[in-house]
Amino acid sequence: MTSSPAGRFVGAWPKIGIRPAIDGRMHGIREALEAQTTAMARRTADLIAANLRYPDGTPVEVVVPDHTIGGVYEAAKVAELFRVEGVGVSITITPCWCYGSETMDMDPLTPKAVWGFNGTERPGAVYLAAVLAAHTQKGLPAFGIYGRDVQDADDGTIPADVQVKILRFAKAGLAAAILRGKSYLSLGGVSMGIAGSIVDQPFFEKYLGMRVEAVDMSELARRMEEGIYDPVEFAKGLAWAKANCPEGADRNAADLQKSRAEKDHDWETVVKMTLITRDLLVGNPRLAELGFGEEAMGRNAILGGFQGQRQWTDHAPNGDFMEAILNSSFDWNGIRAPHIFATENDSLNGATMLLSYLLTNRAQIFADVRTYWSPEAVKRVTGHVLEGVAAGGFIHLINSGAATLDATGAMTADGTPAMKPFWEITDEDVSAALAATTWYPANRGYFRGGGYSSQFVSRGGMPMTMARINLVSGVGPVLQVAEGWTVDLPKEVHQALDERTDPTWPTHWFVPRVNGVGPFRDVYTVMANWAANHGAISYGHIGADLIALASVLRIPVHMHNVPEEDIFRPSAWANLGTADLEGADFRACAAFGPLYGRR
């Protein structure tokens, strides 16, 4: 059984609107351009619909008006059409000169781009430059798209470089639009003094267009004690856990080990925590049928976090099972989209996970950026000489067993380990991920209340992007990005290193791509420049997409290893410096301000 997130949230998914701009001069000029302009708009819409999907797996919907835009009246008509249709992102296209400020998209909350056709018959590039100047002057930054090679007027193709830019912008713009109006569910408060769990509501409101819903962890206890959950689903979930979640040996000291009856009760508790937290996030109509109408509504939350430590975990089973299953692309109800959820209520890591999820539609990994292992240290401890991708050392990503089970690498694509959108996952993939995972009784030194932590080792060879948003006093949010790969270690080497930390937790051996320069001089320097204790790790090299999305949201990027030729930001950024792109990014984000800070 496969289920989608359609209906999880209030409202429909935002659509992408294509704005076909044209030279408005009639009696020959406009009429000669109508067919070419309309066809260009249609091709753009088809490209997007064929390549992009919403989080529920359905193709992205694209709205193309039935007329072109030659001036302000027609621009207003299209704006009204887009309002009615629920358009959240706009792309203006044209093969010709048009009247810039009369035809431009003026909505301050809509991410926007302009594609000017590179042809010689009509000056599409001239309009592109003129309208981008207007966008910059009016404080409405837009991405500029211009093909490298000149095309003939009757060329019905979209060049490959233009396709890349259209799709990169469309993914970023759509992610920003989906965020708007959703919630972050803060289940608890500050965890162990971790700064990311000091939930900053203005950040969510102004930069992401979201609201923060705060619920005390006692709500979990109330719902468990008062039976505010579906008992039929609970029985189903518990049976599934018993059948599919093998329990590992108890590594606690004998005097700290729970009895079999206590462990069985912990299994019941963690399953209840999972379904109750899901109900808190997105609601559950079954609760209304059971007489719990208020609880049935949920919080319209696209993201959540659980404090856990220590007030909950000193007393009750930890949240590892809950967090791992919510973040996975399956549970007892079958294959489904993940619920993005942050351990230790680290809202900033959760926000980063959410951005990466909306760009990829794949489950995300939450992990501590725990240890840099140099080649010398590995050899000293194990006698093993690192080689290949790992020759310069690696970073041990590990946290208590709350990582998505998709990260096992047991799922495959084209015969290689992968993390996939839920609609590509098979029952065999799910079985393989579950078989690769062992659930150990929680380390009661950390978790006095018990519970269960997942343990697996991510298979090597998966392309990964580690990212993190941090808040800087006086500046606001900043983003760092490191593309790299998971790597395999010989079994005995893994065991020797893993035993030095907590071997009951999931491990990801990660090597960032280094270039000998700045923070990416080597693996050690990446670790030394990581700005927080947690990282959000996504399958695939998505750094360029994250940078584009960050610019839409006005979050500057202070560290990345993305090739310069792949960086795509609004054209206004070039007005603030071209020799120092990082500095220009900071200046632009400060000058234009957060996307949703404009009301």
Each residue's pLDDT tens digit, 182-237: 999 999 999 999 999 999 999 999 999 999 999 999 999 999 999 999 999 999 99
**Ordered strands of the 183-187 beta sheet:** 211-215, 183-187, 301-306, 340-343
CA-CA distances (angstroms) from residue 383 to 489, 495, 497, 503, 510? 13, 13, 12, 20, 20
User: Is 368 known to be catalytic?
Assistant: yes
Sign of CA dihedral 71, 72, 76, 82: positive
User: pLDDT tens digits, residue range 230-246?
Assistant: 999 999 999 999 999 99
Q: If pLDDT is split at 50, 70 and 90, which confidence band does 131 have?
A: very high
Task: List Cβ neighbours of 105 (8 Å cut-off, separation of 6 or more).
Answer: 19, 75, 79, 90, 92, 112, 140, 142
Kindly tell me the number of DSSP H helices and DSSP E strands found in the chain.
Answer: 18, 23
State residue 401's pLDDT score: 78
Q: Which two tokens stand for residue 572?
A: 């206004």
CA distance 185 to 280: 8
Q: Which CATH class is domain 183-597?
A: alpha beta
DSSP structure string for 22-54: ----TTTHHHHHHHHHHHHHHHHHHHHHHH-B-
Per-residue pLDDT, averaged over 52-79, amounts to: 98
Beta bridge partners of 571: none
Catalytic residue, candidates 61, 344, 429, 545: 344
Q: If pLDDT is split at 50, 70 and 90, which confidence band does 123 have?
A: confident
Catalytic residue, candidates 61, 295, 368, 429: 368
How many residues does the structure list for the chain? 599
Per-residue pLDDT, averaged over 122-130, amounts to: 90
Is the pLDDT at 2 greater than 70? The verdict is no
State residue 6's pLDDT score: 61
Sign of CA dihedral 299, 305, 309, 313: positive
Strands 87-94, 463-472: pairing is unpaired
State residue 186's pLDDT score: 98
Per-residue pLDDT, averaged over 400-426, amounts to: 96
**DSSP E strand stretches across 196-250:** 211-215
- Name the strand (E) or helix (H) holding 369: strand 365-373
User: pLDDT tens digits, residue range 4-44?
Assistant: 566 899 999 999 999 999 999 999 999 999 999 999 999 99
Task: Return the CATH number of the domain spanning residue range 2-179.
Answer: 3.40.50.1070
Q: Find, among 107, 68, 110, 106, the residue nearest to 89 by Cα.
A: 110
State residue 592's pLDDT score: 96
Q: Find, among 65, 109, 422, 430, the residue nearest to 245 by Cα.
A: 430
Q: If pLDDT is split at 50, 70 and 90, which confidence band does 429 have?
A: very high
Domain map (residue ranges) of the chain:
2-179, 183-597
User: pLDDT tens digits, residue range 265-323?
Assistant: 999 999 999 999 999 999 999 999 999 999 999 999 999 999 999 999 999 999 999 99
Is the pLDDT at 3 greater than 80? The verdict is no
Half-sphere exposure of 573 (CA within 13 A, CB side): 27
Fold match flag (2-179 vs 183-597):
no
**DSSP E strand stretches across 140-272:** 143-145, 183-187, 211-215
Q: Which two tokens stand for residue 82?
A: 């887009």
Is the pLDDT at 1 greater than 70? The verdict is no
Average pLDDT, the chain: 96
State residue 155's pLDDT score: 92
Cα 411 from chain centre: 20
Is the pLDDT at 598 greater than 80? The verdict is no
User: Is 376 known to be catalytic?
Assistant: no
State residue 121's pLDDT score: 83
